[in-house]
Amino acid sequence: MTDLAAPSRLRRPRRPVPRTGRAGVAVAAVVLAGAVAACLLAPVLWPLDQSAVELGAIRLAPSGEHPAGTDDLGRDVLHRSLYGLRISLLVGAIAALVATVIGGCVGAVAGTVGGWVDRALMRVVDTIAALPHLLLGIFVVAMLRPSLGAVILSIGLTHWLSTARIVRSELLSLRTRPFIDAAISGGASRARVLTRHLLPHVLPRLALATTLMVPHAVWHETALSFLGLGLPPHLASLGNMINDGQRSLLTGAWWASLTPGLVLIVVTLALATLTGRWRDRLDPRVRAELNL
């Protein structure tokens, strides 16, 4: 097969980034910083009892007291959306990290050891890539029983393939570069070459892959929740809230799904806008590999 993640070729000078683009990035950065700050400070400033309900105040339309209305069980939608974002970002970030660690390790072994180990590992990657990963994820959750850990694992275990491929091909291309040859002929040990010369080149790519995977992981959490296989259903996560709110849609309580939906879209958009600058510098094929 052709090598999918070919090393990026020499770039031509780009046209300057439009002014509006820069403003967009700034807005995205502010939105994201605000979201992260709100998530970090929420437990101190506005604590939430996850299991609290108020049956006397169900499906109240947005008002001064409840700016985003209340849901089917009389819970404040805005308050829960904030905590939902917290959980979803946490799940997304940890799952992306898990995927990056697994993919990084597999890719590093394949790329540095080479030979039959490389071929075998890449065959495994191809095989797993041939399976729909939503189904694989369902499988993992069904086995481990739905819980926070199971959802994180199921996303992490199914999303490391592209990272592995990227790291491997990056290492393969680095191995042919003169400064590595120089290091090896200079008597550097294999471990030293890996940690001092190869790792610094691969790390930025890895960090980028992790960041770019976060929105996708958040999306996966909502999909699993929709199928009833996600986080514990009374926990305020964006997936659970959209799922619950969707039930109220036909009864006229559109606000129950609007706020969590908007929060999900706005934050993923902000993430995408921020990472878009880096993303544009990638080779299109690598980009596609990352499922962007």
Partner 1 sequence: MGKPLSARVTALAVATALAVAGCSSATSPAGTNAGGTFVVATGGEPETLNPVLNYGVDGGSLIFDGLVARDGRNQLVPALARELPVVSADGRTVTARLRDGVRFHDGAALTAQDVVFTYQAVLDPKVDSTLRSDLDMLTSVTAPDPSTVVFTLKYAYAPFLQRLTLGIVPAKAFAGQDVNRAEFNRKPVGTGPYRVTSWVPGDRLVLAANEKYWGGKPANSGVVVAFVADDNVRAQRMRAGEFDAAELAPKLAAGFDGQPGHRVHRVPTADYRGVMLPMGNPVLGDPAIRRALNAAVDRQAMVTGVLGGAGEPAFGPVPPSSDFAEPSIAGKPAADLATAAAVLDAAGWRPGPDGVRVKDGRPAAFTLMYPATDSLRKELALAVTADAKKAGITVTPEGLTWDAITPRMKTDALVMGYGTPYDPDFVSYKLFGSALAGQGFFNPGRYVSPVVDKALQDGRDNADPATRKAAYATFQKQLATDLPWVFLTYLQHTYVVRDAVVGVTPRVEPHEHDVANSLWWNIDTWTRTS
Partner 2 sequence: MTAAGPVRGARRSRRLAGAGAVIRRRLLVAVPVLAATSAGMFALGAASPIDPAQQYAGAAAFTTSEENLAQIRANWGVDDPLPVQYARWVGNLLQGDLGWSTSRHEPVTAVLAARAGWTLLLVGAALVLVLLASLLLGTLAAYRRGGWFDRALRASAYAVQSMPVFWLGLAAIAVFALSLGWLPAGGLTDITTTGTDPADVARHLILPVTVLALSQAPWFVLFIRDAVADSLRDDHVLAARARGLPGRTVLFGHALRTALLPFLTLVGTHLPELVGGAVLVETVFSLPGLGAVTVQAALGSDFPLLAATTLATTVVVLTANLLTDLGYAAADPRVRLDD
Measured from the CB atom, is 28 or 171 closer to partner 2? 28
Closest to partner 1 by CB, 101 or 139: 139
- Give the Cα separation of 242 and 219 in Å (integer): 12
* 132 binds partner 2, rule: CB under 8 A: yes
Q: Which helix (H) or strand (E) holds 39?
A: helix 19-45
Closer of 74 and 114 to partner 1 (Cβ)? 74
Residue 134 in the binding site for partner 2 (CB under 8 A): yes
Residue 287 binds which of partner 1, partner 2, none (CB < 5-8 A, kind-dependent): partner 2
Q: Give me the helices (H) in 77-132, please.
A: 77-113, 115-129
Greatest extent of the chain over all pairs of C-alpha atoms, in Å: 77
Q: Are 108 and 195 in contact (CB under 8 A)?
A: no
Map residue 215 onto helix, strand or coil.
helix
Dihedral sign of CA atoms 45, 49, 55, 56 in order: negative
Which residues of the chain form contacts with partner 1 (CB under 8 A)? Answer: 18, 20-21, 23-24, 27-28, 31, 51-56, 58, 72-74, 145-146, 228, 232-234, 244, 246-252, 254-255, 257-258, 261-262, 265-266, 269-270, 273
The entry of partner 2, partner 1, none near residue 63 (CB within 5 to 8 angstroms by kind) is none
Residue selected from 129, 182, 203, 207 as contacting partner 2 according to rule CB under 8 A = 129
Judged by CB under 8 A, the stretch of 41-49, 75-83, 96-104, 269-277 that binds partner 2 is: 269-277
Q: Which is nearer to partner 2, 48 or 219 (CB)?
A: 219
**Which 166-225 residues touch partner 2, going by CB under 8 A?**
215, 219, 222-223
Contact 177, 220 (CB under 8 A): no
123 binds, among partner 2, partner 1, none (CB under 5 to 8 A by kind): partner 2
Question: What is the enclosing helix (H) or strand (E) of 41?
Answer: helix 19-45
Answer with the entry of partner 1, partner 2, none that 248 interacts with (C-beta below 5 to 8 A by kind).
partner 1
Residue of 289, 138, 112, 5 lying closest to 121 (CA atoms): 112
Residue 74 interacts with, from partner 1, partner 2, none (CB under 5-8 Å by kind):
partner 1
* Dist CA 165 CA 174 (whole Å): 14
Residues near 234 by beta carbon (within 8 Å), at least 6 away in sequence? 50, 51, 240
Which stretches within 114-147 are classed as H helix? 115-129, 133-144
Distance of CA 210 to the CA centre of its chain: 7
Residues that bind partner 2 (CB under 8 A): 1-2, 4, 12, 15, 18, 20, 123, 126-127, 129-135, 138-139, 142-143, 145, 215, 219, 222-223, 226-227, 239, 242, 246, 249, 261, 264-265, 268-269, 272-273, 280, 284-285, 287-289, 291-292
